[in-house]
Amino acid sequence: MRSLRAAAALALTGCGASPTYLRGSGYVADRLATLGWGLLAIAAAVVVVIGLLVLAAVLRRRPPASTDRMSSAGGLSWIVIGGIVVPAVILLGSMVYSLRVLAATDRPEAKPALAIQVIGHRWWWEVRYPGSSPQETFTTANEIHVPVGLPVQLELTAADVIHSFWIPQLAGKTDLIPGQRNVAWIEADTAGRYWGHCGEYCGLQHANMMMAVVAEAPAEFSRWLEAQRRPAPTPSLPAALAGRAVFTRTACAMCHTVRGTEASGVLGPDLTHLASRRSIAAGALTNSHGNLAGWIANPQALKPGVLMPAVPLQPDELHALVSYLRDLR
Amino acid sequence: MTVATAAAQLRRLEYPRARSPGFWGMMLLIATEGALFAYLLFSYFYLGSMAAGPWPPDGPPSLRLVLPNTLLLLASSGTMYWAEAGVKRGAVGRLRIGLVATALLGLVFLSVQGVEYSNKPFTPATSAYASLFYVITGFHGAHVAVGVLMMATIAIRAFLGHFGRNRHDAVTNVAWYWHFVDVVWLCVFSSLYVAPYLG
Amino acid sequence: MATTAPAIPGRAPDERLHQIWETKPGLLGILGTVDHKEIGRRYLVTSFLFLIAGGLEAVVMRLQLTRSDLRLLQPEQYNQLFTMHGVTMIFWYAAPVLSGFSNFLWPLLIGARDMAFPRLNAYSYWTFLLSGIFLYSSALVGQVPDGGWFAYVPLTRDAFSPGLNMDFYALGLVFLTISTTAGAINFIVTLFKLRAPGMSINRIPLFMWGTLTNSFSVLFALPALTVACVMLYLDRGVGTRFFDPGGGGHPLLWQHLFWIFGHPWVYIIVLPAMGIVSHALPTFCRRPLVGYTTVALATVTTGILGFGVWVHHMFATGLPPLATSFFSAASFAITIPSAIAVFAWIATIWTGRPVVRTPFLFMVGFIVLFVIGGVSGVATAAAAFDQQLTDTYFVVAHIHYVLIGINLFPVVAGIYYWFPKITGRMMSERLGRWNFWTMFLGFNLGFFPMHIAGLLGMPRRIYTYPAGLGWDTVNLITTIGSFVFAAGVLLLVINVIYSRRRGLPAGPNPWDAYSLEWATSSPPPPYNFAVIPTVGSRHPLWEERLDEGGRSILSEGPALDEKGEKETVESSPLDSRLTDVLRMPEDTYYPFLHALAVMLTFYGLLLRSHRVAGVGLLLVALLTAGWLWPARRELREEE
């Protein structure tokens, strides 16, 4: 189990490094990283200086006391300089700089290339791409593709409880709040896969609500967009064909949509192009035959509390179903 | 000379009597309860500012019952003031009548509010506005009810002869509480009933 | 425990006063005592029990997070643990422990015989205890709160949190606010009305400025929590729509109300602790605190500014940039009064002659932790960067540096400092050193790596995390550190228990300190002082050695209680001129019974039983009338 999840994490991040935001890969995250390094450097310096002052104050040698008289004199300049003047200067400078970063990252300079809707659910991400006609709009889940180097607007809301959209290497968090439409934006500098995690406690499986943003060169992005817009083709392999029958005949179709079939449930993620995604269960597992079978057979084993029920299937039904799902490229 | 006698002499000669600790306790209670109502009204205006449609959703509430009810509550502050002024001069009879009158006016206020509730076309679960309406007026009504109970208790004490010219701290404290409840009502009345008419 | 040690050194103990003031024997004494010292001791012990409960909850959580993908806990169990850890520590430990110190010390600090409202004092303890029992009774029915200590809606509405879990939370908190509010009213009136003659407002110990500020903050902040919890309870049980967007409500209403309360609350739980340091540090530096007036003003300023920064908990909620900028600026500004206090302490050490004992070590450790917590807070004040930091372990690191650093460390310093006064024995200095270093090093080992985990992208409130994200090592170090820290807390408990029996006997003033509590025996007699002192300066016991020119009179003054009844003096708020003599109440069952009736009412509300709640309210009404009904002897005299 551990290696499966580690593999999923690697699949999401695209490399073995931590998703630290001290190293940005996007317009917003770059500026936030610089601001962050600055604040942390000041913080470290303050701690070191004051720590040394405290140590010196305690340990410094004093001439032996000649009387037991005490004095209440002296020391006020410490308060004025150390407690008021120096902090005021540092704080004012940091504040002005941070407010400028806030203003600079609030909205993109250019008009966004596209606007994507993200709707938070427990515990997955519904992603809707717009289009100029119904054939061009489509819904996917948990994996967002964007063109590199262009600003992309995100319209965020939630279907149940508050979630938070967070791709640390691209931008800071913006909450998904039921009843409210929040707008955020991202712009990736370089092509790659960027790890994301829900940033607001949302119940039992908050820990396993992850996603990926894939930034691609414009040509590849267009290709992906075209492929996603197409409905699922009829499968050629017999196993997959049998699997489609299982899908549409059983409970799967009650919650999931596969465009091009009768399955049009909206309670769970859209699976039309499931096989094009690198992970399943909101980033919890890599998208493989074995993982899919295990997930469908017993969702509670991986994500206790998840809302997807275990649908009882015969082994050959399960095998066929997974073959079908693996075919949904 | 003991401290007690010295203080008593000081009191009679130069300084008006300082307010008792109990009085300040009541003032602080009023401060915190006032903050409570401030937060309730904040919630009302906050949700109103976020509302998609009109606020209140069904238009301004009717003033037919609430306007005379407000005057009634103001009158009860008058009777309370009259009662307290009476006992400060030693007129215990005035105290007794005034306390009973105030308590009765308070009860009538609550009854009229009950009638208003039954006339409303919404329940607390109908909408956020409805929830706020009932919770805000309900919290106020609860404070009135507590005030009536306090009034009844000191009325009983008044009839037992506990109060006089030199002993009426409890009356003062209850009076301040009652006036506070009145002021809160004016704020609630202005916010929930008058402001919607002002557009 | 009775003592016949002299109330003033060199003066014979007063048998008459002792008889008037001592706690009654038997059940009346146990359930009905109004002695502020007994109530203070109970507060301290009870809040420490809650600290240990919260600590055990944390230790279990740390075990689960030692490595990626552990399965020691189910997610529901983890969520209950982190919720109860936060709720217990922030509400049932952090504020009550400070009330415990305030309760024990205040009358001693101001030369009075008791608090302004002794029965209300007992009541604030009983409601504190019973509300905690109410909250933890949720474990008996397996419905422990699990929505986080901050309980955001819509997650905590009934649709997503069915069961009684969050009802225990909402009602338990409203129950506790009764205790906190009663305490705040008591502290404010006591400070302004009961000081000994001559103790003008600029001579009161700085510890009292801390509790005074936090008491005013309590009065104005807690009602926001009450409103929020009542709304949550009604949304869950009656179907109101306060937080339901479908009905015109809004989830952010909860967040505004909660944080309008919540941010002042964090100052409420640290300002008195900072006051403990301002009060006790001078003793170990052999000089008065540098900048008394400045620190007093800084304390009050922090309390006021604390009401103007709450939105910094909501930087990611999509607010307009103008609002975000304002609250970000205010959050930067609030650092300044804290910096003033830090440098006042450093200046006092620098210009003084440090005497290194265990309380001093904890106070120095506190300063270091304060600064670390403060600067991590400045990082979060920068709204744009906070949108990365918020909801990660960086914030967990920050809050523990400020809470453990600025509340727990001064509290432990206070325990070592005042243990002799409370029990008449010194704590072991040797064990104290071990205690300090274990706690200090364990704390930093446990919590410093959390800054790194947060910067590496680790979110909060997750019951597990996958391998391969680089979080394993920091989490392992944190778990080890937390165990070392827990061992340190255990050493404290051992030292307390050991020293109660075997500690060196302490005289009235073992630290050669300057304030009035050290002018009476250890432990103090029930009547605190045989005569009411007259105060001439901020440092009554150091006057002969200081150059301030004050002259306090400690061995002569009014003894009061001539008619054989409890009395203390009343004075004017600012100058502390004598204005009257106040009669103090006897031990009584009313506060305990009233608290029980309130508890019954809350159980009625929990179970949605009109009958139970109704009976509870009826009892509350009757007991209130009985409590406030004058005793016959009172009616005989003028007011």
Give the tens place of pLDDT for each residue, C49-96: 999 999 999 999 999 999 999 999 999 999 999 999 999 999 999 999
Which one of B18, B57, B162 has the shortest CB-CB distance to C248? B57
pLDDT-based confidence at residue B12 (cuts at 50, 70, 90) = very low
- Please tell me whether the overall predicted TM-score, pTM, comes out greater than 0.90 for this model: yes
Cα A105 from Cα A171, distance rounded (Å): 9
Separation in Å, CA of B114 to nearest CA in chain C: 19
pLDDT of A149: 95
Q: Which residues of chain C make contact with A304, given a CB cutoff of 8 A?
A: 74-76
CB contact under 8 A, C318 and A168: no
Which of C515, C210, C440 has its CA nearest to residue C338?
C210
**What's the whole-number mean pLDDT along residues A261-282?**
95
Give whole-number Cα distances, C384 to A146, B7, C331, C332, C439, in Å.
Answer: 23, 61, 13, 13, 34
Polymer length in residues for chain B? 199
Ranges A224-233, C355-364, C553-562: which has the least confidence: C553-562
pLDDT of A119: 98
Which residues 180-219 in chain C show a CB within 8 A of chain B? 181, 184-185, 188-189, 192-194, 218-219
pLDDT-based confidence at residue B2 (cuts at 50, 70, 90) = low
CB contact under 8 A, A79 and C68: no
For an interface test with C, the pick among A1, A162, A209 (most C C-beta atoms closer than 10 Å) comes out as A162
Q: Which residues of chain C make contact with B39, given a CB cutoff of 8 A?
A: 223-224, 227, 257, 260
Q: Which residues of chain A make contact with C290, given a CB cutoff of 8 A?
A: 74-76, 78-79
Q: For residue range C184-224, what is the model confidence (pLDDT) as tens digits? A: 999 999 999 999 999 999 999 999 999 999 999 999 999 99
Instruction: Select the more confidently predicted residue: C42 or C6.
Output: C42
CATH number for the domain formed by residue range(s) C2-519+586-638: 1.20.210.10
Question: Looking at chain A, which residue has its C-alpha nearest residue C379?
Answer: A39
Give the rounded percent of residues in chain C with a pLDDT score beyond 90.
Answer: 92
pLDDT-based confidence at residue A300 (cuts at 50, 70, 90) = very high
Burial class of residue C304 (count of CB atoms within 10 Å of its CB; 0-12, 13-18, 19+): middle
Separation in Å, CA of C270 to nearest CA in chain A: 18
A25 close to C (CB below 8 A): no
**What's the whole-number mean pLDDT along residues B25-52?**
97
Q: Which residues of chain A make contact with C79, given a CB cutoff of 8 A?
A: 203-204
Cα C304 from Cα C212, distance rounded (Å): 12
pLDDT of A8: 67
A14 close to C (CB below 8 A): no
Q: Which residues of chain A make contact with C364, given a CB cutoff of 8 A?
A: 54, 58
Quote the DSSP letter at residue A158: E
Pairing of strands A163-165, A124-129: unpaired
Give the rounded percent of residues in chain A with a pLDDT score beyond 90.
Answer: 88
Helix segments in C137-205, DSSP class H: 165-193
Which one of A46, A99, A174 has the shortest CB-CB distance to C316? A174
pLDDT of B1: 44
Q: Which residues of chain C make contact with A203, given a CB cutoff of 8 A?
A: 79, 155, 160
Q: For residue range C286-341, what is the model confidence (pLDDT) as tens digits? A: 999 999 999 999 999 999 999 999 999 999 999 999 999 999 999 999 999 999 99
Instruction: Tell which CATH classification among 3.30.559.10, 1.20.120.80, 2.60.120.10, 1.20.1080.10 matches the domain B22-198.
Output: 1.20.120.80
Average pLDDT, chain A: 94
CB contact under 8 A, C562 and B2: yes
User: pLDDT at residue A94 above 80?
Assistant: yes
Cα A240 from Cα A228, distance rounded (Å): 19
B108 close to C (CB below 8 A): no
Q: For residue range A224-244, what is the model confidence (pLDDT) as tens digits? A: 999 999 999 899 899 999 999
CB contact under 8 A, A83 and C69: no
Residue C242 near residue B124 (C-beta atoms within 8 A): no
What chain A holds in terms of domains, given with CATH numbers, is 22-60+107-229 (2.60.40.420), 238-325 (2.60.40.420)
Q: Which residues of chain C make contact with B36, given a CB cutoff of 8 A?
A: 223, 226-227
Ranges A65-79, A85-99, C129-143: which has the least confidence: A65-79
Q: For residue range B99-143, what is the model confidence (pLDDT) as tens digits? A: 999 999 999 999 999 999 999 999 999 999 999 999 999 999 999
Which residues 582-611 in chain C show a CB within 8 A of chain B? 582
pLDDT of B5: 57
Give the tokens for residue B66: 């609430």
Please state the φ and ψ torsions of residue C132, each to the nearest 5 degrees: -65, -40
Contacts 24+ apart (CB under 8 A), B76-82: B76/B101, B76/B102, B76/B105, B76/B106, B76/B109, B76/B178, B76/B182, B77/B178, B77/B179, B77/B182, B79/B105, B80/B174, B80/B175, B80/B178, B80/B179, B81/B175, B81/B179
User: pLDDT at residue C7 above 50?
Assistant: no
CB contact under 8 A, B3 and C222: no
Which of A147, A191, A138, A144 has its CA nearest to residue A165?
A144
CB contact under 8 A, C469 and A206: no
C612 close to B (CB below 8 A): no
Residue C224 near residue C180 (C-beta atoms within 8 A): no
Average pLDDT, chain B: 92
Give the rounded percent of residues in chain B with a pLDDT score beyond 90.
Answer: 86
By three-state DSSP, how is residue B106 classified?
A: helix
CB contact under 8 A, C356 and A58: yes
C318 close to B (CB below 8 A): no
Domain spans of chain B? Answer: 22-198
Residue C511 near residue C419 (C-beta atoms within 8 A): no
Average pLDDT, chain C: 95
B151 close to C (CB below 8 A): no
User: pLDDT at residue C30 above 70?
Assistant: yes
Which of C277, C270, C298 has its CA nearest to residue A83?
C298
Q: For residue range C365-410, what is the model confidence (pLDDT) as tens digits? A: 999 999 999 999 999 999 999 999 999 999 999 999 999 999 999 9
CB contact under 8 A, B47 and C249: yes
User: pLDDT at residue C1 above 80?
Assistant: no
Q: What is the 3-state secondary structure (H, E, C) of C480-533?
A: HHHHHHHHHHHHHHHHHHHHHHHCCECCCCCCCCCCHHHHCCCCCCCCCCCCCC
Question: Looking at chain B, which residue has its C-alpha nearest residue C261?
Answer: B39
Helix then strand count (H, E) for chain B reads 6, 0
pLDDT of C2: 35
Q: Which residues of chain A make contact with C468, given a CB cutoff of 8 A?
A: 5-7, 9-10, 13, 16
B160 close to C (CB below 8 A): no
pLDDT-based confidence at residue B9 (cuts at 50, 70, 90) = low
Residue C243 near residue C164 (C-beta atoms within 8 A): no
Which residues 263-302 in chain A show a CB within 8 A of chain C? none
ipTM associated with this complex: 0.95
Ranges A274-283, C430-439, C626-635: which has the least confidence: C626-635
Which residues 160-199 in chain A show a CB within 8 A of chain C? 160-162, 164, 166, 168, 171-175, 177-180, 182-184, 195, 197-199
Q: To which residue do tokens 């989490």 refer? A: C475
Q: Which residues of chain C make contact with B40, given a CB cutoff of 8 A?
A: 227
Q: Which residues of chain B make contact with C194, given a CB cutoff of 8 A?
A: 21
Which residues 505-534 in chain C show a CB within 8 A of chain B? 532
Which residues 8-47 in chain B show a CB within 8 A of chain C? 10-11, 15, 17-18, 20-21, 24-25, 28-29, 31-33, 35-36, 38-40, 42-43, 46-47
User: pLDDT at residue C637 above 70?
Assistant: no
Residue C469 near residue C389 (C-beta atoms within 8 A): no
Domain spans of chain C? Answer: 2-519+586-638
**What's the whole-number mean pLDDT along residues A36-47?**
97
Which of A278, A315, A283, A277 has its CA nearest to residue A296?
A315
Q: Which residues of chain C make contact with A32, given a CB cutoff of 8 A?
A: 384-385, 387-388
Give the tokens for residue C468: 């391969």
Cα C66 from Cα C299, distance rounded (Å): 39
For an interface test with C, the pick among A4, A12, A39, A46 (most C C-beta atoms closer than 10 Å) comes out as A39
Give whole-number Cα distances, A14 to A193, A275, C68, in Å.
Answer: 5, 17, 19
pLDDT of C233: 98
C22 close to B (CB below 8 A): no
Is residue C25 reached through a cis peptide bond, with omega within 30 degrees of 0 on the bond before it? no
Cα A194 from Cα A173, distance rounded (Å): 14
